[in-house]
Amino acid sequence: MFPVYWIIVTSLHTNADLLQLPPKWFPVNPDFSSYKEILGSSVFLTFYKNTILVASGATVLCIFVSIFAGYALSRFKFKGSNLLTLLFLSAQMFPTVTLVIGLYSQYQAFNLLNTHYVLILASTSASLPFSIMLMRTFFNGISRELEEAAEIDGASRFKTLFAVIVPLSKPGIMAIAIYTFLIAWDDFLFGLTLVSDINKRTLSPGLSLTYLGEYSANWSGATAAAAAATIPLLIVFMFLQRYMVEGLTAGGVKE
């Protein structure tokens, strides 16, 4: 927790106080001018709104795709299914920076650069491999007899999926939602390379380019913005972390 504490302490000092030695470990006379500046800044609020929009969109899209893909890999055995599963697993091995050039070329061909859609798709693609494999593991742990009983009662496969299987997989869906939302919220590389319009930027690249320059840095403003962007998410995660743990452990069954 010390990094979080130091961000808050730094945000409550002026830039002049931050350059003093020895450093001030406690804000004796806290200065809230940086918070007033960022909360009154339309640029910061735009970054915040864009981040919420992108993170929410990526979460919904990732859940939707993961349910169908995980169910298909769990219930259907087709030619190349094992290879496809292996490809999903191997996708987690590649660092994001190695994928940026290829993704940039693809999104440019579809005229998606400098839009919220490109960030939603990029964040979703970063979260999908893990999310699909987690949902596949969940579905493997659900008895097929439940589906057979629903089929006997006249339910279609889609109705069986959403009325029987998905409700039993809520812990896994919650884990995917939290995981994807955090990935999208913290994204820096995609937001920096795929979007150059300041009105479409998200928090991480936006704050970096706004408060940290080549020859000077507004550390008080940068840390105040970082605290305002991080603390609400940290509070929400503290209340939802049990769902994250429950989803990850419930999905860890032997296949």
- Return the SS3 of 118: helix
The answer to pTM > 0.85 is: no
Measured between alpha carbons, how far is 127 from 147 in angstroms, rounded to an integer? 28
Q: What is the pLDDT of residues 230-250, one digit of tens each?
A: 877 777 777 777 766 666 665
Measured between alpha carbons, how far is 107 from 202 in angstroms, rounded to an integer? 18
pLDDT, residue 254, reads 45
In a 10 Å sphere around its CB, with 0-12 CB exposed, 13-18 middle and 19+ buried, how is residue 29 labelled? Answer: exposed
Type of residue found at 64: F
pLDDT, residue 255, reads 47
255 token code pair: 């296949």
- Tally DSSP H helices, then E strands, for the chain: 14, 0
**Domains along the sequence of the chain with CATH:** 45-250 (1.10.3720.10)
What residues in the chain have per-residue pLDDT under 70? Answer: 213-216, 243-255
Is-contact 216 224, C-beta < 8 A?
A: no
pLDDT, residue 213, reads 63
Measured between alpha carbons, how far is 191 from 205 in angstroms, rounded to an integer? 6
Measured between alpha carbons, how far is 208 from 116 in angstroms, rounded to an integer? 19
Q: What is the pLDDT of residues 73-87, one digit of tens each?
A: 888 877 777 788 788
Q: List, in order, residues 6 or more apart from 104 with CB less than 8 Å away.
A: 113, 193, 194
What DSSP string runs through 25-93?
Answer: SS-SS---HHHHHHHT-HHHHHHHHHHHHHHHHHHHHHHHHHHHHHHHHHH---TTHHHHHHHHHHHTT
- Pick from 20, 22, 26, 21: nearest CA to 8: 26
pLDDT, residue 214, reads 56
| CB hemisphere CA count around 148 (13 angstroms) | 4
Measured between alpha carbons, how far is 191 from 202 in angstroms, rounded to an integer? 6
